[in-house]
Amino acid sequence: MMLLLKNARVVDANTDEKLDILIENGKIKKVEKEINLENVKVIDLSEYTVMPAFVEMHAHFRDPGFTYKEDLYTGSLAALRGGYTTVNMMANTNPIVSTPEVYEDIMKRGRELDLIDLFQVVSVTENFDGVNLVDYSKFDTPTLSDDGKGITTSYVLYEALKKAKEHNKLILIHAEDANISKIDYRLGEDLETIRDIEIAKALNTRLHFCHVSTVGSIEAIERAKKEGYPITCEVAPHHISLYDLEYKVHPPIRKKVDVDRLIKAIKDGVVDTIATDHAPHSPEDKAKGAPGMVGLESAFCISYTVLVKENGLDIKRLSSLMSKFGAETLGVNKGLIKEGYNADLVVVDLDKKVKIEAEKLVSKSKNTPFDQKEFYGEIKATFKDGIIKYGEDNL
């Protein structure tokens, strides 16, 4: 079946112009200034912008073990509402994803849902013990992480990076020295970031830093990149939009100076991707101090408003941050609006103001400090393989 999207402003990492998009059998067949065909379904998108669907490198779907907070189904619905068709899920479930049995069960159930493409991260160490490495050869996942915990023993990280390189896997690091962060959370992140970079440099191997939040950490990463090492990093929407706020997240909301430095790093090309660290919690768990916030449904409008409207970032760069890097890293045929790519697309109204309303989120959890705040950029519809999975009534 063929579908023709007409008159849209088409934006990806390389493009920003009015174009038509022809979709056939779930893939992009043509992208041209004008495509006219008979006997094909046409959707006029002259009022909207079409971008590649977003790719989330870092989310928590809590399944198995904590499905009262989120599960594969509700997490996937939240992703679609936020414009995402690919999500990389962290391993801190119950049981932790350290065995092929747990991994395969999650992947199988995700495929059966047929909503989005789900990737499951596998732990670096067995059950996050920080000592014993998982056998990476038993998993086809592209990424590994003990997210939520830093790997505090240098020898363990060295061996983990060496083995990850052997098996062509990327470690996503939570940079935190937990002993130091009890005293000084900023120092805890900065010290471990610097140490982890030095170990990765010694092995000349890839390493990806999760939710970078401080001036010191982003500047250390920038230095390593300028030296030519394959270091990559992500920042979260809340770390570029909030400061001096007592809302518990991990790492914490920082200072205005950190926000400004992260935005500069994004504009300078230092930051590789925006990742939400979507972290659903029940009201009871949040009241007890559980760190984190939901983020999939609000990531685009926050990022677009803060980066593009308020700080002059080229929207093509935003597309690269939200789609291209993640697609390339996870090895999916997405992230650009180009002939031969999967027709995973998001339709947005850049001029529409959006009020984030916690109670209207489709995630099971409503823990967000953005409740009742307004941003620009409404997600109108999300296409997965050329099929509208969210927002059909909006077009």
Q: How far apart are CA 352 and CA 62, in angstroms?
A: 32
Look at the block and give the residue holding tokens 């909207």: 48
- What DSSP string runs through 253-322? P--HHHHHHHHHHHHTT---EE---B----HHHHHTT------TTTHHHHHIIIIIITT---HHHHHIII
Q: How far apart are CA 25 and CA 10, in angstroms?
A: 20
Q: How far apart are CA 196 and CA 191, in angstroms?
A: 9
Look at the alpha carbons of 249, 251, 257, 263 in this order and tell me if their dihedral is positive or negative. Answer: negative
Pairing status of strand 117-120 against strand 41-44: unpaired
Query: Among candidates 240, 297, 333, 356, which has minimal Cα distance to 83?
Result: 297
Q: Is 146 a catalytic residue?
A: no
Catalytic pick among 277, 314, 371, 385 = 277
**Alpha-carbon distances of 208 from 197, 326, 376, 385, 392, rounded to whole Å:** 10, 12, 30, 28, 36
15's CB contacts (< 8 A; 6+ apart) are 316, 337
Residues with catalytic roles: 277
